[in-house]
Amino acid sequence: MLLEILQELHPDIDYTTHTTLIDDRVIDSYDIIFLVGEIADKLDVEIPADELTPENFNSYAALNALVERLGA
């Protein structure tokens, strides 16, 4: 599900290998708002503001780990 949300945002990105989404400016501030909203709506996980860090959003794996940790 998380992968689908990300793919809707940037269909051209291979999220299984990309680990520098923030560093390469693939994801911008409006994408973050979109992601936070979609993750809350579709996965029922609220991401608090202090978890919004470059490390947590740089890759699909990192974001997935965050969502699993917060959703647990």
For other proteins, the closer of residues 16 and 53 by Cβ is 53
Residue 50 beta carbon to other proteins: minimum distance, rounded to whole angstroms? 5
Judge contact between 13 and 57, C-beta under 8 A.
Answer: no
DSSP 22: T
Residue 72 beta carbon to other proteins: minimum distance, rounded to whole angstroms? 20
Residue 32 beta carbon to other proteins: minimum distance, rounded to whole angstroms? 5
Q: In the complex, which residues of this chain contact other proteins (CB under 8 A)?
A: 11-12, 22, 27-30, 32-33, 36, 48-50, 52-54, 57
For other proteins, the closer of residues 14 and 50 by Cβ is 50
What tokens were used for 38? 């979609």
Q: Calculate the alpha carbon distances from 57 to 1, 32, 34 in Å.
A: 16, 8, 13
What tokens were used for 5? 């949300």
